[in-house]
């Protein structure tokens, strides 16, 4: 026999078997059985047990209801779905009624306590059986948006890579997949890990036709898919359908309002693959994966949460046509030119909160008092904002700078209904402004009058009874009372009825007091009820203005982003890039926006970059730490900034549109990803060569470093030849390398040119000048560095000699060093030692395979040599 409560629990649990059920028991949310074990584990609370019938105990763990949010956050982060069963009847005799009032899944959260200001997306992915096409649907329920796309490719692996790139851009916190997808598409699993999204597998029938199409049509109450652009996109339909199914299952109140789909084509935007986003540190830095030190951080002068989200979106989807880029640039320029009006606009935007999410909670019928307050305060600022916008005129960029809708009707409603200050929750009272509803004011006045009469009783009772110690008091258990000190309590009149005895006093009530108390409590209760009812009515009437308000939120977000970019441009001296459809790039005195911001004392050294058909491929040589990687990334970042509509860090920039930016950074950075680094490099490079077009920008940094010299050199060489010669390729390519031999390519291939980063070694030490100059770097650089490092004369002289012999041999890839390098002349100082034994530094030097060393390794070896020499001498 189980207890009735156990039966109730099991019944509720059955409603959402795959969620963790929080079962409200007094001041706690309790969990049982396996749920208790999960809760104890994830939230680090004690696991105990509880009897649920004769001789039966089950595991139990609970959390206090008043701090449940912090535990919910932990459960959400762990990707656990949670159902909350509340007590819905007054506790009394027998079993309290309980109902599941909320279900939480990570991708469908709307509560401000559980969300960050970032987008929170739920995504669904469906692959066709041949894995040559896939659909992705994504929804941010806090914005009420749903987008879908269908991707196609000629090879399953490539399709999968594109799906992953798009998922990485969307950054969903929860992903829906048909069951067993990761078995069919193994490459997806590690990508989902990197995304840190919780994954829910849904049964195949949910994605299958004809049910999928029917669900979408019925859910959106439409007759045909054309309006959403979903015709002939079966994979996208499957994904949308599963997304609707899932939201409908767990969040029916939200699902009902999520009934529009926008399809988009990834071809409308510059594709940024996962590695490129990472390597260019667009939204997070490579080391800690935080926003600090990213391009986003440098540009983010937005003042509203929806603006911040939109800026992130712009960064992830640079545009591909000059007109729409220029439309954004026009807005940025207008704001840039008028600093005074810009700061007015930004100041006003700074006083606006998350309008999008406030409005969306109104739509879902789950608005908090301060959501409505926030909407009202925002609307109140719009006339000021429009006055500031007048400064810009509308000719420049109407989509950004024309007056925003002031939503006067919604504002009137909210101003009339809501008091200036609003409580955090509906339960707290003070939701409705005086004068909004006479009935409510009346109730409040009656309670107030009763309270005043009750307080007046203190005086009247004192004089009537002649007992000066009488006080009126209130506590939550006993209600109102008259308190009389013990010493005077023998003299109270008969009309006093004892209520409670304390050590020093007695507490009484009288008929009149009881009457007033009832009056107060009744009117307070009715006040609270009426206030909540009125508040809900106001929120509901506001729904009629939801579209207008959403439109306003979108306008404000766009304005915020344009203003942020204008502000970044002013702060950091950026210029408007000139965009064109040709091939050439001409950047005068370009800088890296993030590196420049991190250099506090030293000044960033600007550099030019000119790329034409004749100089499409540029090979950059120079020692480690000279600034090669920075220069390469800077070129990519400037192109990307321009195409997202931002000004750029340069004195001037004339930029041909690029369709894609590919970056591959050799070896060391890729190590964490687990694959052998050379394998990774080759996979990534293969991907580039298969996808780049003549209009792409290729950033290849030390490709081939992850393997032995000969392999690496050979492959680097072949890659450059391919980019140069392949039909339809000849893409703009910047190639940084430590393989000096590659500079020979400039003589053989007409579009290849050499550049090098200059260093000054004329003084006693090496100075990195960070300037880019024509031609290749000197080959003997390591030997120079050795001299600077204080290597014994004999060692660096011998090193120079070996180098000379290597160079004389003329072979880029010598067969054997022993044949090539002659023994040192007998008159070397090292040999004139008393012992015939060779100097250990020289021994070490003999074992050195110069060709297999990267500049950094060469430096390290030289330091070792110095140490050996010092140890030996001293
Ligand atoms: N143009 C520049 N002006 C000033 N400092 C620079 C510049 N380029 C690079 N640096 C500095 O030099 C460091 C090394 O640059 P990096 O590009 O990684 O060199 P490399 O790739 O040649 O080893 C950077 O971290 C940065 O601090
Ligand atoms: Mg580098």
Q: What does the pLDDT look like over 312-325, one tens digit per residue?
A: 999 999 999 999 99
Residues 767 and 648 in one domain: yes
- Would you state the pLDDT for residue 769? 87
- Distance from CA of residue 466 to its chain's centroid? 72
Taking residues 185-212, what's their average pLDDT?
Answer: 92
Nearest CA to ligand 1 atom 16: 627
CATH number for the domain that contains residue 228: 3.30.420.110
Three-class DSSP category at 857:
helix
The percent of residues in the chain predicted with pLDDT above 70, rounded, is: 91
Confidence of residue 813 (pLDDT cuts 50, 70, 90): very low
What are 527-570's pLDDT values in tens digits?
A: 999 999 999 999 999 999 999 999 999 999 999 999 999 999 99
Nearest CA to ligand 1 atom 1: 605
Q: What is the DSSP secondary-structure string of 371-382? A: HHHHHHHHHHHH
Residues 585 and 675 in one domain: yes
Give 770 Cα–ligand 1 centroid separation in angstroms: 7
Confidence of residue 130 (pLDDT cuts 50, 70, 90): very high
What are 356-391's pLDDT values in tens digits?
A: 999 999 999 999 999 999 999 999 999 999 999 999
Residue pair 645/256 in contact by the 8 Å Cβ criterion: no
- Would you state the pLDDT for residue 671? 42
Place of tokens 């960033």: 604
Give 619 Cα–ligand 2 centroid separation in angstroms: 13
Residues 631 and 712 in one domain: yes
What are 824-853's pLDDT values in tens digits?
A: 665 444 433 344 466 777 777 777 777 677
- Would you state the pLDDT for residue 170? 95
Residues 28 and 139 in one domain: no
CATH number for the domain that contains residue 367: 1.10.1420.10
836 or 223, greater pLDDT: 223
Confidence of residue 500 (pLDDT cuts 50, 70, 90): confident
Residue 433 lies in a domain: no
Which atom of ligand 1 is closest in space to residue 606's alpha carbon? 1
- Would you state the pLDDT for residue 806? 67
Q: Is the pLDDT of residue 655 over 60?
A: yes
How far is the CA of 34 from the CAs of 13, 21, 52, 75, 152, in angstroms? 12, 10, 15, 14, 43
Residues 749 and 819 in one domain: no
Among 279, 286, 591, 595, which is best to mutate for testing ligand 1, by the most ligand atoms less than 8 A from CB? 595
- Would you state the pLDDT for residue 810? 54
Q: Is the pLDDT of residue 811 over 60?
A: no
854 or 722, greater pLDDT: 722
Residue 205 lies in a domain: yes
Residue pair 394/402 in contact by the 8 Å Cβ criterion: yes
- Would you state the pLDDT for residue 268? 87
User: How far is it, in rounded angstroms, from Cα 633 to Cα 698?
Assistant: 10
- Would you state the pLDDT for residue 829? 43
- Which strands make up the sheet holding 497-501, listed edge to edge? 471-475, 479-485, 505-509, 497-501
Among 279, 608, 625, 627, which is best to mutate for testing ligand 1, by the most ligand atoms less than 8 A from CB? 627
Residues 521 and 457 in one domain: yes
Taking residues 464-493, what's their average pLDDT?
Answer: 87
Q: Is the pLDDT of residue 674 over 90?
A: no
The percent of residues in the chain predicted with pLDDT above 90, rounded, is: 59
Residues 124 and 211 in one domain: yes
Q: Is the pLDDT of residue 686 over 90?
A: no
Q: Is the pLDDT of residue 667 over 60?
A: no
Nearest CA to ligand 1 atom 15: 627
Find, among 644, 683, 679, the residue nearest to 661 by Cα.
644
Confidence of residue 728 (pLDDT cuts 50, 70, 90): confident
Q: Which ligand is nearest to the CA of 856?
A: 1
Q: Which two tokens stand for residue 321?
A: 């046509």
- Would you state the pLDDT for residue 198? 92
- Would you state the pLDDT for residue 657? 96
Residue 319, strand partner residues = 269
- Would you state the pLDDT for residue 782? 59
> Where among 774, 802, 825 does a domain terminate?
774
Residue 275 lies in a domain: no
Query: For all residues of the chain together, what is the average pLDDT?
Result: 88
User: Domain residues for 378?
Assistant: 301-407+545-572
Which atom of ligand 1 is closest in space to residue 592's alpha carbon? 1
Residues 524 and 649 in one domain: no
Q: In which element (H, E) is residue 296 found?
A: helix 295-299
- Would you state the pLDDT for residue 832? 38
What are 391-434's pLDDT values in tens digits?
A: 997 677 888 999 999 999 999 999 999 999 999 998 888 999 99
Give 760 Cα–ligand 2 centroid separation in angstroms: 18
Residue 485 lies in a domain: yes
Pairing of β 174-178 and β 198-202 = parallel
State the CB neighbour count (10 A cutoff) for residue 562. Answer: 32
Q: Is the pLDDT of residue 669 over 90?
A: no
Confidence of residue 779 (pLDDT cuts 50, 70, 90): low
User: How far is it, in rounded angstroms, from Cα 647 to Cα 569?
Assistant: 6
Give 717 Cα–ligand 2 centroid separation in angstroms: 19
Residue 287 lies in a domain: no
CATH number for the domain that contains residue 71: 3.40.1170.10
Q: Is the pLDDT of residue 790 over 70?
A: no
Q: Which ligand is nearest to the CA of 628?
A: 1
CATH number for the domain that contains residue 749: 3.40.50.300
> Where among 45, 72, 104 does a domain terminate?
104
* Torsion angle of the four alpha carbons 82, 83, 89, 92, in this order, in degrees rounded to the nearest 10: -60
Taking residues 634-662, what's their average pLDDT?
Answer: 97
Nearest CA to ligand 1 atom 8: 627
Q: Which ligand is nearest to the CA of 621?
A: 1
Nearest CA to ligand 1 atom 14: 625
Q: Which two tokens stand for residue 422?
A: 């609003």
Q: Which ligand is nearest to the CA of 756?
A: 1
Residue 432 lies in a domain: no
> Where among 757, 774, 791 does a domain terminate?
774
Residues 601 and 699 in one domain: yes
Taking residues 761-784, what's their average pLDDT?
Answer: 75
Q: Is the pLDDT of residue 780 over 70?
A: no
Which atom of ligand 1 is closest in space to residue 856's alpha carbon? 23
Residues 648 and 716 in one domain: yes
Nearest CA to ligand 1 atom 5: 604
Give 817 Cα–ligand 1 centroid separation in angstroms: 34
Q: Is the pLDDT of residue 616 over 90?
A: yes
Taking residues 237-266, what's their average pLDDT?
Answer: 93
Q: Is the pLDDT of residue 78 over 80?
A: yes
Which atom of ligand 1 is closest in space to residue 603's alpha carbon? 4
How far is the CA of 849 from the CAs of 397, 573, 816, 844, 867, in angstroms? 62, 47, 10, 10, 19
Total domain count, the chain: 6
Residues 592 and 646 in one domain: yes
Which atom of ligand 1 is closest in space to residue 632's alpha carbon? 17
Confidence of residue 284 (pLDDT cuts 50, 70, 90): very high
Residues 769 and 808 in one domain: no
Which residues sit with their C-beta closer than 6 Å to ligand 1? Answer: 595, 599, 602, 604-605, 622, 624-630, 770
Residue pair 35/21 in contact by the 8 Å Cβ criterion: yes
Among 285, 599, 630, which is best to mutate for testing ligand 1, by the most ligand atoms less than 8 A from CB? 630
Q: Which two tokens stand for residue 726?
A: 């392949």
Nearest CA to ligand 1 atom 10: 627
Residue 277 lies in a domain: no
Give 530 Cα–ligand 2 centroid separation in angstroms: 68
Pairing of β 652-656 and β 585-590 = antiparallel
Q: Which ligand is nearest to the CA of 777?
A: 1
Give 333 Cα–ligand 2 centroid separation in angstroms: 34
Residue 274 lies in a domain: no
Give 628 Cα–ligand 1 centroid separation in angstroms: 7
């Amino acid at each position: 026999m189980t207890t009735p409560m156990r039966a109730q629990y099991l019944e509720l649990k059955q409603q959402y078997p795959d969620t963790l059920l929080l079962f409200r028991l007094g001041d706690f949310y309790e969990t049982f059985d396996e749920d208790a074990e999960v809760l104890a584990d994830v939230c680090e609370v004690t696991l105990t047990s509880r009897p649920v019938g004769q001789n039966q105990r089950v595991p139990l763990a609970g959390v206090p209801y008043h701090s449940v949010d912090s535990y919910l956050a932990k459960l959400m982060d762990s990707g656990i779905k949670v159902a909350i069963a509340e007590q819905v009847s007054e506790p009394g005799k027998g079993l309290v009624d309980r109902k599941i009032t909320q279900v939480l899944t990570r991708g469908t959260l709307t509560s401000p306590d559980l969300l960050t200001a970032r987008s929170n997306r739920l995504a669904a992915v469906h692959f066709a059986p041949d894995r040559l096409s896939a659909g992705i649907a994504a929804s941010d329920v806090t914005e009420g948006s749903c987008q879908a796309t269908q991707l196609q490719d000629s090879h399953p692996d490539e399709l999968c890579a594109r799906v992953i790139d798009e998922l990485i851009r969307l950054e969903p916190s929860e992903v829906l997949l048909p069951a067993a997808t990761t078995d069919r598409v193994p490459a997806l699993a590690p990508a989902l890990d990197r995304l840190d999204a919780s994954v829910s597998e849904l049964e195949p029938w949910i994605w299958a036709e004809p049910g999928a199409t029917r669900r979408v049509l019925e859910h959106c109450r439409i007759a045909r898919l054309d309006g959403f652009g979903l015709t002939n996109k079966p994979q996208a339909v499957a994904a949308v359908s599963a997304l609707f199914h899932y939201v409908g299952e767990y969040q029916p109140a939200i699902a009902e309002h999520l009934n529009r789909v926008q399809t988009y084509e990834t071809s409308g935007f510059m594709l940024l693959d996962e590695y490129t986003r990472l390597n260019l540190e667009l939204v997070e830095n490579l080391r800690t994966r935080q926003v600090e030190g990213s391009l986003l951080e440098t540009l983010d002068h937005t003042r509203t949460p929806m603006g911040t989200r939109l800026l992130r979106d712009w960064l992830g989807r640079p545009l591909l046509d000059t007109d729409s880029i220029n439309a954004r640039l026009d807005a940025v320029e207008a704001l840039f030119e008028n600093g005074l009006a810009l700061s007015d606009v930004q100041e006003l935007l700074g006083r606006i909160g998350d309008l999008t999410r406030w409005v969306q909670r109104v739509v879902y019928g789950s608005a908090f008092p301060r959501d409505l307050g926030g909407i009202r305060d925002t609307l109140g600022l719009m006339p000021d904002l429009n006055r500031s916008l007048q400064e810009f005129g509308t000719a420049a960029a109407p989509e950004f700078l024309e007056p925003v809708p002031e939503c006067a009707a919604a504002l009137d409603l909210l101003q009339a209904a809501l008091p200036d200050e609003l409580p955090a929750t509906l339960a707290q009272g003070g939701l409705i402004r005086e004068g909004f509803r006479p009935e409510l004011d009346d109730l409040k006045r009656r309670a107030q009058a009763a309270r005043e009469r009750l307080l007046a009783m203190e005086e009247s009772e004192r004089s009537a009874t002649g007992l000066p110690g009488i006080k009126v008091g209130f506590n939550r258990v006993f209600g109102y009372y008259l308190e009389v000190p013990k010493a005077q309590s023998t003299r109270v009149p008969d009309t006093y009825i004892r209520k409670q005895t304390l050590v020093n006093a007695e507490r009484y009530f009288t008929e009149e007091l009881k009457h007033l108390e009832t009056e107060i409590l009744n009117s307070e209760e009715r006040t609270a009820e009426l206030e909540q009812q009125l508040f809900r009515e106001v929120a509901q009437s506001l729904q009629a203005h939801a579209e207008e308000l959403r439109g306003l939120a979108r306008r404000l977000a766009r304005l915020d982003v344009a203003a942020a970019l204008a502000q970044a441009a002013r702060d950091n001296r950026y210029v408007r890039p000139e965009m064109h459809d040709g091939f050439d790039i001409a950047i005068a005195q370009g800088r890296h926006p993030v590196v420049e911001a991190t250099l506090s004392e030293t000044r960033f050294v600007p550099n030019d970059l000119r790329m034409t058909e004749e100089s499409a491929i540029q090979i950059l040589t120079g020692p480690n730490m000279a600034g090669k990687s920075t220069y390469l990334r800077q070129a990519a970042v400037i192109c990307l900034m321009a195409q997202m509509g931002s000004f750029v860090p340069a004195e001037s920039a004339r930029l041909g549109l690029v369709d894609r930016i590919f970056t591959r950074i050799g070896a060391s950075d890729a190590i964490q990803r687990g694959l052998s680094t050379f394998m990774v490099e080759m996979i990534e490079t293969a991907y580039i060569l298969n996808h780049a077009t003549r209009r792409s920008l290729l950033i290849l940094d030390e490709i081939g470093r992850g393997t032995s010299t000969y392999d690496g050199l050979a492959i680097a060489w072949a890659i450059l030849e391919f980019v140069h010669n392949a039909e339809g390729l000849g893409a703009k390519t910047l190639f940084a390398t430590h393989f000096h031999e590659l500079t020979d390519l400039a003589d053989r291939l007409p579009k290849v040119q050499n550049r090098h980063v200059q260093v000054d070694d004329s003084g006693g030490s090496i100075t990195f000048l960070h300037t880019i100059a024509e031609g290749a770097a000197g080959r003997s650089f390591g030997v120079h560095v050795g001299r600077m490092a204080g290597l014994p004369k004999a060692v660096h002289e011998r090193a120079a000699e070996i180098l000379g012999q290597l160079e004389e041999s003329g072979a880029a890839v010598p067969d054997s060093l022993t044949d090539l390098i002659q023994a040192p002349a007998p008159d070397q100082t090292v040999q004139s030692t008393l012992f015939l034994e060779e100097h250990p530094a020289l021994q070490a030097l003999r074992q050195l395979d110069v060709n297999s060393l990267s500049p950094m390794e060469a430096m390290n070896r030289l330091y070792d040599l110095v140490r050996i020499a010092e140890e030996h001498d001293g």
